[in-house]
Amino acid sequence: KAGVTQTPRYLIKTRGQQVTLSCSPISGHRSVSWYQQTPGQGLQFLFEYFSETQRNKGNFPGRFSGRQFSNSRSEMNVSTLELGDSALYLCASSKMPGQGADTQYFGPGTRLTVL
Amino acid sequence: DQQVKQNSPSLSVQEGRISILNCDYTNSMFDYFLWYKKYPAEGPTFLISISSIKDKNEDGRFTVFLNKSAKHLSLHIVPSQPGDSAVYFCAASDTGGFKTIFGAGTRLFVKA
């Protein structure tokens, strides 16, 4: 079956702009988590959605937001972009939340560059 | 506050030898630990895990060791192969929560 898909794969924006990233989970998976990967920081948890509800949130400013649709697809939005937001944004899906990270399947990520 | 630390950003090993990747954690509530492997332009993929009730878990060439008293775990790859060259992330979670904390990753180079 198809894996987790993320669009777009690459994105270049300038400071102050906003961006929306999309994630389509594996069919049948209802939980979607978002992570930010930067060199030296590893994967930083952003938030997790299940049944269109945010269940958990990491330590990121309010400029980072997300949502989940009834078909489990998820989007994350970053407003007022800063240079430090340049990173690889990874989406992971699982059937249910809280079952352990070994049940998560990651997408290839969206590489965001902020100039 | 990094609750999961991988202090070695990179590691270089000769093909056929053992690769040992280390990870330390600070939160004693963590009771489930995982290793992920990531190739460039791909998302991380789950490699192996260990529950806090065990001190060792083995899967083929990969073995994870857990030392709860030291809050330390390690991943051993024997023998190392060039295809093992990737970034390895250590991760930890607690069964009561819904959040997994990842380390910064260690880039492994296996030289032929």
pLDDT of B80-92, one tens digit each? 999 999 999 999 9
Please tell me the predicted confidence (pLDDT) of residue B50. 93
Q: Do residues B78 and B66 lie in contact, with contact meaning Cβ atoms separated by under 8 Å? A: no
Q: What are the percentages of helix, strand and coil residues in chain B, rounded to 5?
A: 5, 55, 45
Residue B65: burial class (beta carbons within 10 Å; 0-12, 13-18, 19+): middle
Please tell me the predicted confidence (pLDDT) of residue B89. 95
Please tell me the predicted confidence (pLDDT) of residue A2. 75
Of B42, B95, B99, the CB nearest to A45: B99
Lowest-confidence range among A100-104, B46-50, B68-72?
A100-104
> What mean pLDDT comes out for the span B33-50?
92
Please tell me the predicted confidence (pLDDT) of residue B97. 56
Q: Which residues of B touch A97 (CB under 8 A)?
A: 98
Nearest chain A Cα distance for residue B74, angstroms: 17
Euclidean distance between CA atoms B80 and A1, whole angstroms = 31
Q: Where are the alpha helices (DSSP H) in chain A?
A: none
Half-sphere exposure of B16 (CA within 13 A, CB side): 1
In chain A, which residues have pLDDT < 70? 1, 98-102
Q: With an 8 Å Cβ cutoff, are A98 and B98 in contact?
A: yes
Q: Is the pLDDT of residue B99 over 90?
A: no
Q: Which residues of B touch A58 (CB under 8 A)?
A: 99
Q: Is the pLDDT of residue B42 over 60?
A: yes
Q: With an 8 Å Cβ cutoff, are A104 and B100 in contact?
A: yes
Please tell me the predicted confidence (pLDDT) of residue A103. 75
Please tell me which residue, A21 or B100, carries the higher pLDDT value. A21
Please tell me the predicted confidence (pLDDT) of residue A109. 95
